Amino acid sequence: MNRKRNIVGMPCAVHGSRSDVEKLRKIKFVDNEPMSLDAFSPTTQLDLNATLANLNGDAELLQAIAQIFCEDVPPIVHALKHAFATGSGVGAVLHAHTIKGMALNFRAEPLTTLSRRLEMDYAKLSNCEREVLMLQIESACNETIAALKREIGLN
């Protein structure tokens, strides 16, 4: 077996003629079901009515929270990837927890589920499984940001 480096530079047991990412897309890890980086596209779900109800109908506050999400989540995802690359499990779990909490404000799925999975099962997952989850979290974050911008009309 040829030892290659995964996307963030950590050793990953990948072999054959396919790229590392293609191999990672086939890993089974959520409820023993095969997942792919595209598994959730384009099914980002938001419950903005529930969020608005939780905010006592304050549309300006909803817009402000959505803006904060859109600005703050990309650096947190970057920090999550850095924590993984430097071997900081505690940092990775902390960043996954933060993303989960922010996603819960909008009941954003699958981002909430993916972040919870990384937070709760980090120690049980292999490096390759963690990386797949991080890539899926990054994709779900991007989809959630796009959905918030589209639904709320953010720039």
pLDDT digits (tens, 9 = 90+) for 67-125: 999 999 999 999 999 998 999 999 999 999 999 999 999 999 999 999 999 999 999 99
pTM: predicted TM-score of the whole model, two decimal places: 0.73
Six-digit token string for 17:
């003629």
In the chain, the domains with their CATH numbers are: 40-153 (1.20.120.160)
Tokens 């596209």 sit on residue: 41
Is the sign of the CA dihedral 85, 125, 32, 109 positive or negative?
A: negative
For residue 124, give the DSSP letter.
G
Six-digit token string for 56:
């006592």
